[in-house]
């Protein structure tokens, strides 16, 4: 059985394809169109998935869409009627999203060239059930609590349940307009960043704040630990009646101050708002996790939904919550629903839990022939090497910034060692150099460490696997002097553990770097610049390398290095080829 699933008309459009219960491909549309976080119909992602499966569209058995517009229609109509006339703005803001959903079958059938004579069946899939399936079914657990949190799916914003074997059972749901995702998104926009894009920036900014506003912020969210519920004080917000636009109310602005203009300076007030928002989000997440443990008694928890990308919250659920183990879908935001929808269809048709998600490398790959063709076309000087990981490690130990392009591209928002920019983590100034000279982004943004899986406890305060860079650990005090570039201002790091079995090439790079330096960690950030998606093709990799202060590009089995300008300030890089 072959199932294609996709999501679109909101943000982070993507597609995935599965054959007989095994994932074949999963990729975001942005990687092809180069429009970051695009929610447009994922035509390129769908075409890639069909090609990667080596099939024609006529061989598809099922096509799934990550949203069931029929589920929310009655409740949405009642809600709009009850809040008239203010809710008319909500209708206007959502019509360009919801109306296309009802025609999405016709759109995908046209894109695939399918007719009624073809065998493929179309399915609308419950959004949060797809999130839940994406987290539990590929997890290593036979029994687990499940928590999915996002802005909203149909009408649900938070889904609490349990997975046993192939059964997914809902325990309770929290509905719109009470939403941690909307809360975080609204304050993200108030702080001058973009909804469904800038939330990670706010999480990083929070560490620079003080707890001055936390008590005031707690008035916004009423958390009931006994019932596993939370309610927002909607007098602080406008999203429930306005839809898109400025989502905080005049009351919020009176208490917390006016909106920050995008690209303007960051004030202490902004950092304090971010701190308070993050603190309340963590408290709510912990409360929900503790409730789930009480009612399920499970030792494990699975997380998905956009809010589950909040690595600090996840770290606290692991450290302070009652669960022994945590599994988080690496594409926890909407692209993961495509994987979940495929898995739901497999189980519905009698399949078992045949797929375990041990990595996130489900995107396109390119051969050495493809790569060399682009290198020749670009005019750069390059060499083919016998041992690319060892050469990359040597360059890193020589204090070079290295772009690393290998194998299949990652799905999800994190670069995990196949489309990465790497650096020596030992010097604090490397963070500022990377932000200013390479990434062209805000100076407060932290960088993540990739660490050999069996060495994680030597550098951080946890040995729980974190292969998807989605958990935050404390850096051990006696290792901070060796890990200054990846240690955030609060002493933490968003850790990626690297397994030899899962990514031998990247593992060998870090292993060789440790042999040269004594440090089993490299700094890892995504291979892109601010405002652009992670690079997909060799041509994009070369373009990014040439257009930034990256010193070297190790791409497939090829290496190209820039010569430093004489007298260059800030170390090598930015020089001529």
| pLDDT of residue 541 exceeding 50 | yes
pLDDT tens digits, 97-136: 667 888 999 999 999 999 999 999 999 999 999 999 999 9
DSSP helix/strand/coil, 38: coil
**Residue 47's pLDDT is what?**
98
Based on the number of CB atoms within 10 Å of its own CB, is 485 exposed (0-12), middle (13-18) or buried (19 or more)?
buried
pLDDT band at 577 (very low <50, low <70, confident <90, very high): very low
| pLDDT of residue 251 exceeding 70 | yes
- CA 191 – CA 199 distance, rounded (Å): 10
Q: What is the DSSP letter of 260?
A: P
Name the residue among 84, 339, 344, 298 with its Cα closest to residue 171: 298
**Residue 564's pLDDT is what?**
53
Residue with tokens 């890990």: 483
Whether the CB-CB separation of 275 and 211 falls below 8 Å is answered with: yes
- Taking residues 274-292, report their average pLDDT: 97
Name the residue among 533, 496, 196, 525 with its Cα closest to residue 328: 496
**Residue 242's pLDDT is what?**
74
**Residue 78's pLDDT is what?**
74
- Taking residues 239-252, report their average pLDDT: 82
**Residue 571's pLDDT is what?**
35
- Taking residues 472-486, report their average pLDDT: 97
Percent of the chain with pLDDT over 90: 87
Whether the CB-CB separation of 45 and 51 falls below 8 Å is answered with: no
Which fold, 2-66+69-124+338-348? Nucleotidyltransferase; domain 5 (3.30.420)
Whether the CB-CB separation of 330 and 414 falls below 8 Å is answered with: yes
CB atoms within 10 A of CB 34: 13
pLDDT tens digits, 338-363: 999 999 999 999 999 999 999 999 99
Domain ranges across the chain: 2-66+69-124+338-348, 139-331, 368-449+499-561
Residue with tokens 């060789």: 512
Class of domain 368-449+499-561: alpha beta
Superfamily of domain 139-331: ATPase, nucleotide binding domain (3.30.420.40)
**Residue 92's pLDDT is what?**
63
**Residue 87's pLDDT is what?**
66
Please state whether beta strands 558-561 and 552-555 pair in parallel, antiparallel, or not at all (unpaired).
Answer: antiparallel
Terminal-residue alpha carbon distance, the chain? 50
| pLDDT of residue 393 exceeding 70 | yes
**Residue 76's pLDDT is what?**
74
**Residue 259's pLDDT is what?**
96
Task: Please check whether the two domains, 2-66+69-124+338-348 and 368-449+499-561, share a CATH topology.
Answer: no
Q: What is the DSSP letter of 504?
A: H
Please state whether beta strands 492-498 and 229-232 pair in parallel, antiparallel, or not at all (unpaired).
Answer: unpaired
Residue 232: both structure tokens together: 């927002």
- CA 255 – CA 382 distance, rounded (Å): 58
Residue with tokens 């517009």: 69
- Taking residues 27-32, report their average pLDDT: 98
**Residue 61's pLDDT is what?**
98
| pLDDT of residue 518 exceeding 50 | yes
Residue with tokens 């759109």: 107
| pLDDT of residue 276 exceeding 70 | yes
Please tell me the least confidently modeled range out of 78-87, 201-210, 371-380, 391-400.
78-87
**Mean pLDDT computed over every residue of the chain:** 93
Residue 111: both structure tokens together: 């894109």
Residue 337: both structure tokens together: 């629903």
**Residue 570's pLDDT is what?**
35
Q: What is the DSSP letter of 211?
A: G
Whether the CB-CB separation of 240 and 94 falls below 8 Å is answered with: no
Please state whether beta strands 325-328 and 300-304 pair in parallel, antiparallel, or not at all (unpaired).
Answer: parallel
- CA 279 – CA 289 distance, rounded (Å): 15
- CA 351 – CA 178 distance, rounded (Å): 35
Please state whether beta strands 143-153 and 121-124 pair in parallel, antiparallel, or not at all (unpaired).
Answer: unpaired
User: How far, in Å, are 173, 187, 351 from residue 97 at the CA level?
Assistant: 23, 22, 33
- CA 326 – CA 307 distance, rounded (Å): 15
Whether the CB-CB separation of 464 and 318 falls below 8 Å is answered with: yes
Q: What is the pTM of this model?
A: 0.95
**More reliable by pLDDT, 78 or 518:** 518
**More reliable by pLDDT, 553 or 89:** 553
Phi and psi for 473 in degrees, rounded to 5? -120, 160
Residues in a beta bridge with 494: 472
**Residue 422's pLDDT is what?**
98
- Taking residues 523-552, report their average pLDDT: 97
**Residue 573's pLDDT is what?**
36
Whether the CB-CB separation of 126 and 105 falls below 8 Å is answered with: no
């Amino acid at each position: 059985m072959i199932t294609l699933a996709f999501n679109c008309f909101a943000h982070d459009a993507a597609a995935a394809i599965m054959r007989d219960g095994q994932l074949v491909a999963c990729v975001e549309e942005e990687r092809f169109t180069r429009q970051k976080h695009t929610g447009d119909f994922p035509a390129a992602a769908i075409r890639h998935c069909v090609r990667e499966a080596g099939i024609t569209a006529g061989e598809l058995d099922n096509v799934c869409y990550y949203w069931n517009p029929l589920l929310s229609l009655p409740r949405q109509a009642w809600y709009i009627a009850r809040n008239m006339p203010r809710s008319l703005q909500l209708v206007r803001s959502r019509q360009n999203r919801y109306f296309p959903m009802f025609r999405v079958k016709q759109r995908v059938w046209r894109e695939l060239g399918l007719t009624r004579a073809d065998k493929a069946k179309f399915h609308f899939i419950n959004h949060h059930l797809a999130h839940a399936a994406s987290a539990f079914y590929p997890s290593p657990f036979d029994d687990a609590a499940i928590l999915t949190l996002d802005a909203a799916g149909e009408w649900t914003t938070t889904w609490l349940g349990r997975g046993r074997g192939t059964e997914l059972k809902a325990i309770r749901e929290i509905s719109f307009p009470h939403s941690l995702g909307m809360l975080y998104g609204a304050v993200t926009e108030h702080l001058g960043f973009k909804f469904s894009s800038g939330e990670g920036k706010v999480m990083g900014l929070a560490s620079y704040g003080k707890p001055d506003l936390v008590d005031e912020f707690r008035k916004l969210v009423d958390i009931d630990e006994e019932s596993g519920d939370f309610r927002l004080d909607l007098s602080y917000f406008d999203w429930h009646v306005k839809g898109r636009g400025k989502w905080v109310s005049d009351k919020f602005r009176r208490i917390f101050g006016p909106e920050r203009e995008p690209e303007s300076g960051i004030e202490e007030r902004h950092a304090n708002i971010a701190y308070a928002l993050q603190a309340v989000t963590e408290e709510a997440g912990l409360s929900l996790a503790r409730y789930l443990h009480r009612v399920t008694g499970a030792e494990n928890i699975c997380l998905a939904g956009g809010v589950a990308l909040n690595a600090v919250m996840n770290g606290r659920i692991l450290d302070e919550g009652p669960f022994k183990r945590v599994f988080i879908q690496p594409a926890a935001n909407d692209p993961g629903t495509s994987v979940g929808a495929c898995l739901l269809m497999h189980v519905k048709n009698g399949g078992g839990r045949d797929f375990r998600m041990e990595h996130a490398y489900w995107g396109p790959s390119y051969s050495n022939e493809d790569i060399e063709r682009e290198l020749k076309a670009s005019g750069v000087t390059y060499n083919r090497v016998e041992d690319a990981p060892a050469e990359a490690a040597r360059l890193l130990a020589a204090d070079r910034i290295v772009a690393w392009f290998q194998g299949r591209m990652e799905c999800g928002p994190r670069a995990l060692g196949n489309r990465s920019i790497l650096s020596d983590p030992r010097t604090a100034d490397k963070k500022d150099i990377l932000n200013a000279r390479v990434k062209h982004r805000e100076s407060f943004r932290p960088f993540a460490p990739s660490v050999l899986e069996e060495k994680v406890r030597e550098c951080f305060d946890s040995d729980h696997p974190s292969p998807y860079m989605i958990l935050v650990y404390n850096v051990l005090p006696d290792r901070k002097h060796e890990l200054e570039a990846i240690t955030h201002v609060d002493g933490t790091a968003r850790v990626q553990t690297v397994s030899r079995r899962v990514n031998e090439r990247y593992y060998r790079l870090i292993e060789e770097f440790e042999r040269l330096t004594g440090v089993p960690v490299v700094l890892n950030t995504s291979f892109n610049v601010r405002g652009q998606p992670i690079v997909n093709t060799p041509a994009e990799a070369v373009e990014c390398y040439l257009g930034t202060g990256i010193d070297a590009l190790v791409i497939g089995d090829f290496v190209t290095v820039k010569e430093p300008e004489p007298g260059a300030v800030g170390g090598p890089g930015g020089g001529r080829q």
